[in-house]
Chains A and B, each alone.
Chain A
Amino acid sequence: MSKNENTLKRHMGLKAANRISNFFVYLLLIIISVVWLIPFIFIVLQSFRVESTYQVGYVIPQQWGFDNYLKLWNSDFKVWYLNTFIIALASAVLITVIQLCMSYTLSRFRFKMRGPLMRFMLILGMFPGMLTMIILYRVLSDLGLTQANAVPGLILVGVASSGMGYYVSKGFFDTIPKSLDEAARVDGATRFQVLYKIILPLAKPIVIYTILTAFMGPWGDYVFARYVAFGTSSGYNVAVGMYSWLTNDQIARMYTTFCAGGVIVAIPVTILFLCLQKYYVEGVTGGAVKG
């Protein structure tokens, strides 16, 4: 190879190599996008299938129709949906308040028990949460908050322990300079006014993140909801209810209905999520890692 050719190649190389690697990256990204979206497209398509209520070996329905959605309307799905919505709404409000109290305090106040408290909660978090279900179920049932009254029971349990999930928002509060608090205190603000007038307006992204995650959580909550509402359909949330459709004796009749239900559940949550995506990403990248 002559020297001239060699330099030519070296000069050409960068651009060409870039173009080739970009091509492969696009190819991969397209494949990934397809793989990631396909199940959801399938769900939507199958929810409109009329000819069979069970799994089939093709995706595009031979007969289109709203039968499955009608079936949903005539089932307990409405109740489950309402239950879940109430739980999600109540959790979103209460969990946000509790987590913000907790994380703001641990980020800003230096009191004697702060270190031990945080270590204690770290250790508590190492116990599997499922362990406590047995007794919580009994306590709730003594309070009359199970089965048909599962909704307030689930809200109570979900909210009560939510203080332990303070990490993400504390990470965010830690990034707000402490001198702002101090300046406000010198300016004459009480601690409460500091929180209310200075910190909360600045913490908008993390407040929205907390509300969003607290709202989305109950939509997928299966295990404890099953435990608490066991056997009483009017206390189910969507996850428990729709899970029962996929058991061996129901699946042949309810499979496409499940798909329709999935669409109905996913649409509002997904829209909400996509609207607030910015804050979610900020919360995840800002706080979750430090956690």
Chain B
Amino acid sequence: MASVKLTDVKKIYDNKVVAVHDFNLEIKDKEFVVFVGPSGCGKSTTLRMIAGLEDISEGTVEIDGEVVNDLQPKDRGIAMVFQNYALYPHMSVYDNIAFSLRLQKMKEDVIYEKVTNAAQILGITEYLMRKPRALSGGQRQRVAIGRAMVRDSKVFLMDEPLSNLDAKLRNQMRAEIILLRQKLNTTFIYVTHDQTEAMTLGDRIVIMKDGYIKQVGTPAEVFEMPKNLFVAEFIGAPKMNIIKTNLLLEDGKYYVTPFGAKLPVEGEKGRMLSEKHAKPGEILLGVRPEHIHLAHPGETAIPCKLVVNEMMGSELHLHVDTNDGTRLIVRIPTLDLDNSERNALVSGHEMHISFEGKAMHFFDPTTEDNLLV
């Protein structure tokens, strides 16, 4: 159990490519932190630097207050679960889990105790004699976690542990990782490219792109107040609609004018714009698909034409084109509409949509930063 602190950590490869820029982060004891970002953003590299599998080009990594830059992985008090599980093919499940304990020269009785205990928690007791190749993907994943569990490490590192599993199994294992975390009660650093995993697992999420941290925050923070366009688009599915439009200030009140419709920015968002003295002018307006609704009669609305209607079961994803050809996605709960309304939603259907002030996000078109942060 330990805190992890990264100060100005930088990774520069031999060919002068900078994979991670000035990474600063303090992870508290027993915190579950998720590094998330598209592939090549440097999240795995950062994790591997913490693990000691990559050299740290600049900066320091501290675990439990001790600088570990020059320590071998085995001396850092970490455990790690790899994306492709990295089970030793020539050893049985039991030997795989016992491997690290044997290297510590532990007594076989103690090893037995620990291995069977871990196996029981993970539900793999009956497979202990098998070789990894005789296991299914989910079982291998459990063995990999078991191997990391028995080390009683200070920090638990996971590098995309679920990405090799099929969708159903992934959901199941995700829930199990949450349970595991409650049992182990240690510090977790988890790397993934899947924003759903990040949102559901993390106490805090670190969103990265091209080696830079784009935002650090709780799931709620990054969802409700994304610091910049990248985070806004990355978090949430389907992704946020971005509309190039103008911000108007009339009589102390802010308006946006997407596709000619003049929508007031009401409520808290409007107040925040005033507090920040937001300058009127061109902006990027972000609205999440689930925050767009079909316009009520009499409401200021944006006319558009339906292109594709995806029936997802509990909700409908409507892909619509506005009058200037911009494609937007609208997410409507299926039960909000009655049968005849749903049947009318075929390709080419003319319709009107609208959204409220509290659903709006404002971004500077050049810096792409959130105007309200």
Query: Which residue numbers of A lie inside 8 Å of B, CB to CB?
Result: 177, 179-180, 182-190, 193, 197-198, 201-202
B51, B78, B88: most-surrounded residue (chain A CB, <10 A): B88
- Inter-chain contact A177/B86, CB cutoff 8 Å: yes
Interface residues of B, dominant DSSP:
loop
Identify the 7 closest CB pairs spanning chains A and B, nearest first: A187-B100, A183-B86, A179-B86, A188-B74, A188-B103, A185-B73, A201-B90
Chain A residues with CB under 8 Å of B79's CB are 186
CA distance A263 to B48 in the complex (A): 58
- Inter-chain contact B72/A180, CB cutoff 8 Å: no
With A182-B82, A183-B82, A184-B99 as known contacts, state yes or no: A189 contacts B74, CB within 8 Å: yes
The minimal Cβ–Cβ distance linking A194 to chain B, given in whole angstroms, is 10
CA distance A236 to B90 in the complex (A): 44
- Inter-chain contact B78/A186, CB cutoff 8 Å: yes
- Inter-chain contact B86/A185, CB cutoff 8 Å: no
**Can you pick out 13 interface pairs between chain A and chain B where the beta carbons lie within 8 Å of each other?**
A177-B84, A179-B82, A179-B83, A182-B80, A182-B82, A183-B86, A183-B87, A183-B147, A189-B99, A189-B103, A190-B72, A197-B99, A201-B90
- Inter-chain contact B90/A187, CB cutoff 8 Å: no
- Inter-chain contact B90/A202, CB cutoff 8 Å: yes
Instruction: List B62-91 residues whose CB lies under 8 Å from chain A.
Output: 72-74, 78-80, 82-84, 86-90
The minimal Cβ–Cβ distance linking B142 to chain A, given in whole angstroms, is 15
Q: Which residue of A lies closest to B48 (CB)?
A: A182
Contact of B73 among A180, A186, A197, A202 (CB under 8 A): A186
Provide the B305-329 mask, 1 if CB < 8 A to any CB of A, else 0. Answer: 0000000000000000000000000
- Inter-chain contact B53/A182, CB cutoff 8 Å: yes
CA distance A254 to B78 in the complex (A): 72
Contact of A187 among B53, B84, B103 (CB under 8 A): B103
- Inter-chain contact B84/A179, CB cutoff 8 Å: yes
CA distance A185 to B54 in the complex (A): 12
- Inter-chain contact B100/A188, CB cutoff 8 Å: yes
B83, B100, B151: most-surrounded residue (chain A CB, <10 A): B100
Chain A residues with CB under 8 Å of B73's CB are 182, 185-186
- Inter-chain contact B89/A202, CB cutoff 8 Å: yes
With A187-B99, A187-B100, A187-B103 as known contacts, state yes or no: A182 contacts B74, CB within 8 Å: no
B340 within 8 A of A: no
Chain B residues with CB under 8 Å of A197's CB are 99
B366 within 8 A of A: no
Known: A185-B73, A189-B103. 6 other contacts (CB 8 A): A179-B84, A183-B80, A184-B88, A185-B53, A185-B74, A188-B100
CA distance A189 to B52 in the complex (A): 13
CA distance A114 to B296 in the complex (A): 69
Contact of B88 among A180, A182, A185 (CB under 8 A): A180
B104 within 8 A of A: yes
Chain A residues with CB under 8 Å of B74's CB are 185-190
- Inter-chain contact B104/A188, CB cutoff 8 Å: yes
The minimal Cβ–Cβ distance linking A227 to chain B, given in whole angstroms, is 43
Chain B residues with CB under 8 Å of A202's CB are 89-90
Contact of A186 among B80, B88, B90, B104 (CB under 8 A): B80
Chain A residues with CB under 8 Å of B80's CB are 182-183, 186
